Amino acid sequence: MTETRTESLPAIPVGQALGQAVGQAQAILTRLLTGVLAETGTPRETYLALLRLSVHGDSLQRDRYVRDLSDSLGLDLWAAGELADGMLDAGLLTLAGETIRLADAGAELRERTRRSVGTVTAPLYEGLDPADIETTVRTLQDITSRAREL
């Protein structure tokens, strides 16, 4: 004979539920991204750094770009500077005075990788309500901002 539980389970605190959902999504999406990047031979940090530069219109003062990489990728300032310098050395970025700009090679790599990532992830997002996605993005951005303030 099976026993049926009649007591209710304790409610999961909202922070824990959200943290688990975000953590699980991030883990699986990172694995998918890692696979795509391995196929293209692109280091994860390089791809993310190219995406970060696009947020700034593909041009930004070097110091601001390094600080942005540090904040967004969780790197210390030295490592973020090394990442930017390595991308300059690889011809993915150019430096004119104090301004970093996306080079043609960086634009090509970013677009090629973005297409490959899109091919893998498009089926995940099919059928999702765009309003739900916008709400989720705004909520996560707000949580991120609040956490940075701490």
What CATH code is carried by the domain that includes residue 68? 1.10.10.10
Helix axes 77-89, 62-73, angle to 10 degrees: 120
Give the length of the chain. Answer: 150
Residue 13, token pair as written in the block: 């605190």
> How many Cβ atoms are within 10 Å of 15's Cβ, its own excluded?
9
Domain that holds residue 113: 41-120
User: pTM above 0.75?
Assistant: yes
Cα dihedral across residues 121, 39, 103, 81: positive or negative = positive
**What total of structural domains would you count in the chain?**
1
State the 10-residue block means of pLDDT for the chain, 150 residues long. Answer: 64 81 90 90 94 96 97 94 98 97 96 91 92 91 86
Q: Is 73 domain-assigned?
A: yes
